[in-house]
Amino acid sequence: MLKNIQNLVSHPNVTDSFPSGHTTLVFAFAISIYLYNKKIGIFLIILSVFVGISRIIVGVHFPLDIFVGFLIGSAVPIIVHYFVSKKQYAKK
């Protein structure tokens, strides 16, 4: 029964799937916006979740690829925001 399943898109190079670059990018953008505007940020985070899920549905990523992309895409803007805001307070 599972023999008839085909991917929606072809993804020739499987070795570059970890972590998901698409998920990392959209989560980094969404979290960056969230740190400055909560309403728009929440909307973008929800869209980012759909991007991650769609990458799994199309068959180009495994759930772990998406999860690690989420972690990296969320951690980097938070760390940068922390150091930038700390530096701004040091100037005052």
In whole angstroms, what is the distance from residue 88 CA to residue 81 CA?
A: 10
Structure tokens at 80: 């940068």
Give SS3 for 59. Answer: coil
Looking at residue 58, what is its pLDDT? 84
pLDDT in tens, the chain (92 residues): 445 656 666 656 555 667 888 899 999 999 999 999 999 999 999 999 999 998 888 888 888 889 999 999 999 999 999 988 876 665 55
- The reported pTM is 0.76
